[in-house]
């Protein structure tokens, strides 16, 4: 992803054509570019590209402590599909 020809972050995803699913492996926005709508734009790009490549659904993983990301994903229509828990000893 570039902002005015400067690298703002990256997006890594894969589309499984036979399953008609796309999965977002990683999205990262550099600190200097956060809170500017770039992540939202990147996720819309992910959705558009996945749709073009035949995906009927999108998936991703987000850590429960990443409240900002969870809020953004929910605003973009993602729903919770599972819960993973751990306990620090």
The tens digit of pLDDT for each residue in 34-59 reads 999 999 999 999 999 999 999 999 99
Q: State the pTM of this model.
A: 0.85
The tens digit of pLDDT for each residue in 5-14 reads 789 999 999 9
12 exposure class (CB count in 10 Å sphere: 0-12, 13-18, 19+): exposed
pLDDT level of residue 85 (50, 70, 90 thresholds): confident
How far is 14 from 26, CA to CA, in rounded Å?
A: 10
């Amino acid at each position: 992803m570039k902002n005015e020809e400067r690298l703002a972050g990256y997006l890594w995803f894969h589309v499984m054509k036979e399953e008609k699913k796309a999965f977002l492996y990683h999205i990262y926005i550099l600190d200097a570019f956060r809170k500017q709508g770039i992540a939202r734009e990147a996720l819309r790009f992910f959705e558009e590209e996945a749709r073009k490549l035949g995906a009927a659904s999108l998936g991703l993983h987000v850590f429960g402590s990443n409240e900002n990301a969870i809020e953004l994903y929910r605003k973009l229509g993602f729903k919770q599909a599972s819960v993973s828990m751990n306990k620090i000893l």
